[in-house]
Structure 1
Amino acid sequence: MEALERRAEELDAADPLADLRRRFLLPDGLVYLDGNSLGALPAAVPPAMADVVQRQWGSGLVRSWNEEAWWAAPLRVGDRIGRLLGAAPGQTVAGDSTSVQLFNALCAAARMRPGRPLLLTDPGQFPSDRYLAESVARLFGLRVGYVPPAELPDFLRTHGEGVAVAAYSPVDYRTGELFDVPAVTRAVRAAGALMLWDLCHAAGAVPLRLDEWGVDLAVGCGYKFLSGGPGAPAFLYVAGRHQESFDHPLTGWNGHADPFGPTAGYTPAEGIGRARIGTPPMLSLLALEAALTAFDGVDLDRVRAKSLSLTGFLIDCADTLPGGLGFSLVTPREPDRRGSQVALRHPEAYAVVQALAEHGVVGDMRAPDLLRFGVNALYLTHRELWLAMTLLRDLTTAQEHRAPRHQQRATVT
């Protein structure tokens, strides 16, 4: 047994979270390294969905809005997510998509900071975030400033008085780099602006303390590290101090103070309930609620410790196994600067990912040349990462990725 394989066995034997893997239904023989795109299926979801479809919907029908507490689900699920964000109850709501929640949050932020003409975001931000920032800027007559996170404190010192809101992600979705959320938040708030975080690549993987850090607003999806299923509802966090002034554009009937009343005008509900919009997608929302039970009794600081062990081990494997085969590390080596994924650069990234998948290792890529390996510490092992990097070495040494079948482009999420 070679040294890396032996080390993997030793780390897995000492893993205090090893039993959590049983909370997920993973295909035999598959190494799944794409949980940063779509989380694996939690074992609690299929029976929960069978009950929702067959009993709650099938037998209960419309009565289930009250008898099964469907109506309260967006706030109930929101509070469950809030626990993973370091948010006290009553500040998080679940429903709609990340794009919808981000649009609402950006508009509300612009309204809370009138007279400030700048909306800041990362030039490397996920495309939807940039598109929405530009759309909101057009609606409110703002300018979008594209400032990398590392340059943000200096920018704010000279231009901060003009900034309405800064919208960033804690983790770079391409490289896995983790930014200093507390420090960035302090700098933005010191300038009198609002801090809005997109937590899609952090929630459920990185310990967050939104209340403690003074974060104003946050959004995120339910289908990555939260494993809520394809298209799972997103969430929105609004700090309690901002809820009375949270004035968003999509004022649907669910967010009305009297949603079943005959009133002609819109009166927002109290608290985070005003951030509700329309009828929630109950099947996907209740699937997400069941998925979140995978975190029951789990300390996210321990999840983070295992994540760092896994990603650190993956980096060591990548240095040693496919070394000299054209791969270079993109993710920072420093533990406090990486999220829960490792990215490698290779000029034939797409073909390599396709070849890996053919042999049971599922990762993904980002054009033009990044391979991304998402690491969910709830269900992955060190040995699986060793197997993945060993396969990476073997198939590139044999140039298997250059087979014609791996060159044809298809949709990669």
Structure 2
Amino acid sequence: MPSNHKLAADLLAKAKKLNQEDPLASFKSEFLLPQNVIYVDGNSLGPLSKAAKNRAVEVVEQQWGNSLISSWNVHDWINLPTTVGNKIAKLIGAAPNTVICCDSISVNLFKLLSAALLLSAKQAADDKTDARTLILSQKDNFPTDLYMVQGLGQLLNSGTQTKLELMSVDSKDITRSIEEHGHRIAVLMLTHVNFRNGDIHDLQALTELAHAKGILVLWDLAHSAGVLPLALEECEVDFAVGCTYKYLNGGPGAPGFAYVAERLLPDLQQPLSGWLGHKKPFDFEHDYEKAAGIEQLLCGTPSIISMSVLDAALDMFETISVSDLRAKSIALNDFFQSCVEQINASYSPSDSPLVLACNEQAQMRGSQISYKHPHAYAICQALISEGVISDFRSPDILRIGFSPLFLHFTDMLNAALILTSIVRTKRYTQPQFLIKNKVT
């Protein structure tokens, strides 16, 4: 505890008051969280909800166990990708039947990038202009997004004259790059919330700027869906992808989702033309004919157990507004930051302090806070050993996530007390905390 006992008492009183005023406080009881654990890593993997666990048991024991293959009809397994997609659509401001749940972010990126390039090429041919060959992104985008462009480029550039290029720039240079190179850019591909520092792009402004230059826009919503207000249809976003195992609490390896604006669906062509994306999949015809709607993004048989679990997890959001989730996210974020700063200030300065590695204002960040420290990995491991589960991002970032549905403000205070104590006493220097695990 801080040497200033009055500070400790004041912070605890404030945390309890914030808990009492929190309209989402009761949702914590809907999760199966371990005792004596403060889980601030829901931005990497959301915890198990009671509804999700019950559904898993039901699907395995009753649906699969008793109904067997008839479950595709009896329990409507066949429509789960669109059923779940429509639940997600409500959370991201998308129109009904424009979101499909399937595959992973990486696979869905490949589909949508390919489809966007085909649409861009068709537009260039119609306009009798040169084909656009650039995909614009930013240097510190999540690596899988950049890797998928690089892989797609290797595939498309083999033996062709038109060379697809990834143009990755600093965040501050995105607007300038659009203005200077817009006539060559086919797709603007950005992640709405930066995974390291939590920076939030202005989705509407960048989409409008890109469209003014004839550029299609693809947003990665991995750190946005379920915690930030989004309005994809209103902002006329072309494409989006996202995952469901973070703030949507769908479970490890839960399927991703893909969004396509309704206006683009008739002309969409994606290269992974699997049988369930066919117009009449159970006619088993020789030649492919795509489904008319968002179902054309389906490939193979969906993962029913994981998608059913996700379906149950999403039911929790039916009675919650995303604006309330965002308000609590900011409040948790702000209170934790304030606790760390006030506790640190009550002691003499440390010779290896935590340095804020994100915007100072909680409302300008996603649902996370990031600190830079040369021993961030060891600090993270020391936190875990004391029941505060956070995460590390290379090379030196300690990341704390704020999931509004299961965190209380007293959790934030306790996490701040443990974090500041570990850094101040340098407990992170113990040998067991320096061993790197395969998953960091």
Residue 92 (structure 1) aligned to one of 71, 80, 99: 99
1:275 Cα deviation after fit: 0.9
Q: Which amino acid aligns with 2:14?
A: R
- Aligned runs of 1:386-405 on 2, under 5 Å? 386-405=413-432
Alignment partners' CA distance in 2, 1:270 and 1:149: 37
Alignment partners' CA distance in 2, 1:392 and 1:153: 38
- Aligned runs of 1:43-54 on 2, under 5 Å? 43-54=50-61
The equivalent residue for 2:398 is: 371
Alignment partners' CA distance in 2, 1:336 and 1:157: 28
The equivalent residue for 2:299 is: 277
1:31 Cα deviation after fit: 0.2
Is 2:305 the counterpart of 1:289?
Answer: no
- Aligned runs of 1:31-180 on 2, under 5 Å? 31-114=38-121, 115-140=131-156, 141-180=163-202
Select between 295-304 and 5-14 the one with higher mean Cα deviation. 5-14
1:226-247 deviation digits (Å, cap 9, x = unpaired):
1000000000000001111111
Residue 410 (structure 2) aligned to one of 355, 379, 383: 383
Alignment partners' CA distance in 2, 1:372 and 1:147: 24
- Aligned runs of 1:317-396 on 2, under 5 Å? 317-322=339-344, 324-325=349-350, 326-396=353-423
Is 2:240 the counterpart of 1:240?
Answer: no
CA contact (8 A) 1:178 1:336 kept: no
**What TM-score do you get using the length of structure 2 for normalisation?**
0.92
Alignment partners' CA distance in 2, 1:210 and 1:149: 21
Alignment partners' CA distance in 2, 1:9 and 1:29: 18
Give the secondary structure class of the aligned counterpart of 1:236: strand
Give the secondary structure class of the aligned counterpart of 1:167: strand
Q: Which amino acid aligns with 1:297?
A: T
Q: Which amino acid aligns with 1:289?
A: D
Alignment partners' CA distance in 2, 1:52 and 1:218: 29
1:335 Cα deviation after fit: 3.8
Q: Which amino acid aligns with 1:231?
A: G
Give the secondary structure class of the aligned counterpart of 1:196: strand
Select between 296-305 and 331-340 the one with higher mean Cα deviation. 331-340
1:137 Cα deviation after fit: 2.5
CA contact (8 A) 1:119 1:137 kept: no
Residue 182 (structure 1) aligned to one of 191, 204, 223: 204
CA contact (8 A) 1:365 1:412 kept: no
Give the secondary structure class of the aligned counterpart of 1:210: coil
Percent identity over the alignment? 38
Structure 2: gaps (5+ residues): 1-7, 122-130, 157-162
Alpha-carbon RMSD: 1.2
1:401 Cα deviation after fit: 1.0
Q: Which amino acid aligns with 1:80?
A: K
Alignment partners' CA distance in 2, 1:163 and 1:139: 19
Segments of 4+ in structure 1 off by > 3 A? 322-325
